């Protein structure tokens, strides 16, 4: 009987673990479950925060970045707009943009727009050497709002804006080529007319998409891009319509510089 009992205990029953060992093992399992739960909860919170951040970035950050240009101006002693305009005419016949502006209450004449501040400052230094008081001002291009736009509309607005900046720089390059006698006024006019036609088409395409004749057109998400495109088209049409028989290289260079500046300062 004793042998049978021993065999039964040895082969058919697992040895009973001491009480303290069972308690300890059970505690370890509980702690592991708690750790896993905390890890999963932390991971879920991080995912939620990431989603919120991405959403805020998309909503609050403009998808279309503005661009800075710099223009050189001459300070005048004019006491009114009429006198400032007379001085501006003197610079137009020398190829300057000849646009009158008031800066800190002083009548000034804009000479030209530049792609970067360094180039503008170089021109100011050259003018100072001729005892001409000049300065540099920054001008920031407008950007259409992307509020309420879907991805396709944002792409359209970005495309318009990219071509807008390219047009400013193309006109700038044309003015430089005219200034260096590397391009004739007739060649420059052909380039300008090509740009004008491209913008006419872009504006027509946008008008069709937003339905400019409809009552809801002013609230359409693409109305900002359309407004920019419409102004660009108008300015280029005026420049392209200049009669080649009434302008020479210097006067056309002045007109190109004037239009370049006007493009950079269009508003929404």
CATH number reported for the structural domain that contains residue 129 in this entry: 3.30.70.1070
Per-residue pLDDT reduced to its tens digit, 14-28? 455 554 444 444 555
Does residue 259 share a domain with residue 182? Answer: yes
Flag whether pLDDT at 41 surpasses 90. Answer: no
Does residue 171 share a domain with residue 103? Answer: no
Domain for residue 129, yes or no? yes
Per-residue pLDDT reduced to its tens digit, 103-152? 999 999 999 999 999 999 999 999 999 999 999 999 999 988 888 899 99
What is the distance between the alpha carbons of residues 186 and 5, in angstroms, rounded to a whole number? Answer: 118
Flag whether pLDDT at 191 surpasses 70. Answer: yes
Domain for residue 113, yes or no? yes
Does residue 55 share a domain with residue 72? Answer: no
Flag whether pLDDT at 33 surpasses 60. Answer: yes
Binning pLDDT at 50, 70 and 90, where does residue 242 land? confident
Of the residues 92, 113, 140, the one at which a domain ends = 140
What's the pLDDT score for residue 2? 39
Domain for residue 128, yes or no? yes
Nearest to 73 by CA among 103, 119, 110, 125: 110
Domain for residue 146, yes or no? no
Helix, strand, coil percent content, the chain, rounded in steps of 5:
65, 10, 25
Flag whether pLDDT at 228 surpasses 90. Answer: yes
What's the pLDDT score for residue 48? 64
- By CB atoms closer than 10 A (0-12, 13-18, 19+), residue 67 is middle
Does residue 204 share a domain with residue 104? Answer: no
Cβ 103 vs Cβ 266: under 8 Å: no
Does residue 188 share a domain with residue 115? Answer: no
Does residue 256 share a domain with residue 174? Answer: yes
Instruction: Tell me the Cα Rg of the chain.
Output: 35
Binning pLDDT at 50, 70 and 90, where does residue 29 land? low
Instruction: Kindly give, in sequence order, each residue whose CB lies less than 8 Å from that of residue 252, ignoring residues fewer than 6 positions away.
Output: 178, 185, 188, 189, 242
Does residue 103 share a domain with residue 56? Answer: no
Of the residues 140, 166, 187, the one at which a domain ends = 140
What is the distance between the alpha carbons of residues 81 and 92, in angstroms, rounded to a whole number? Answer: 16
Does residue 39 share a domain with residue 10? Answer: yes
What rounded mean pLDDT belongs to the chain? 84
Flag whether pLDDT at 233 surpasses 70. Answer: yes
Greatest mean pLDDT among 1-10, 194-203, 205-214? 194-203
Q: Which domain holds residue 113?
A: 68-140
State how many domains the chain has.
Answer: 3
Output the CA torsion sign for 200, 217, 214, 208. positive
Flag whether pLDDT at 243 surpasses 90. Answer: no
Domain for residue 145, yes or no? no
Domain for residue 102, yes or no? yes
Does residue 75 share a domain with residue 54? Answer: no
Does residue 121 share a domain with residue 183? Answer: no
DSSP, res 56: H
Does residue 50 share a domain with residue 19? Answer: yes
Binning pLDDT at 50, 70 and 90, where does residue 217 land? confident
Domain for residue 217, yes or no? yes
3-state secondary structure of 70: strand
Domain for residue 77, yes or no? yes
What's the pLDDT score for residue 169? 96
Flag whether pLDDT at 35 surpasses 70. Answer: no
What's the pLDDT score for residue 246? 72
Of the residues 140, 167, 202, the one at which a domain ends = 140
Flag whether pLDDT at 181 surpasses 90. Answer: yes
Does residue 87 share a domain with residue 135? Answer: yes
State both tokens at 29. 């399992």
């Amino acid at each position: 009987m004793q042998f049978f009992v021993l065999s039964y205990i040895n082969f058919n029953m697992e040895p009973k673990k001491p009480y303290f060992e069972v308690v300890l093992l059970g505690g370890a399992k509980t702690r592991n479950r708690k750790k896993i739960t905390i890890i999963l909860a932390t991971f879920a919170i991080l995912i939620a925060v990431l989603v919120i951040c991405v959403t805020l970035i998309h909503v609050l950050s403009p998808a279309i970045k503005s661009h800075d240009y710099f223009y050189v101006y001459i300070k005048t002693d004019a006491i009114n707009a009429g006198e400032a305009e007379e001085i501006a005419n003197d610079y137009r016949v020398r190829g300057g943009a000849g646009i009158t502006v008031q800066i800190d209450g002083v009548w000034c004449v804009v000479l030209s727009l530049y792609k970067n501040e360094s180039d503008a400052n170089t021109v100011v230094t050259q003018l100072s050497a001729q005892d001409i008081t000049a300065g540099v001002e920054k001008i920031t291009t407008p950007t259409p709002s992307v509020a309420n736009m879907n991805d396709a509309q944002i792409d359209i607005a970005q495309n318009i804006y990219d071509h807008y900046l390219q047009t400013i720089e193309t006109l700038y390059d044309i003015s430089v080529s005219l200034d260096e006698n590397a391009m004739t006024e007739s060649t420059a006019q052909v380039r300008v007319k090509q740009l004008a036609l491209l913008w006419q088409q872009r504006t027509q395409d946008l008008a069709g998409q937003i339905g400019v004749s409809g009552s809801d057109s002013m609230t359409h998400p693409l109305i900002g891009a359309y407004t920019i495109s419409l102004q660009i088209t108008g300015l280029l049409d005026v420049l392209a319509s200049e009669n080649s028989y009434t302008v020479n290289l210097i006067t056309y260079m002045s007109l190109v510089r004037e239009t370049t500046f006007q493009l950079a300062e269009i508003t929404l």
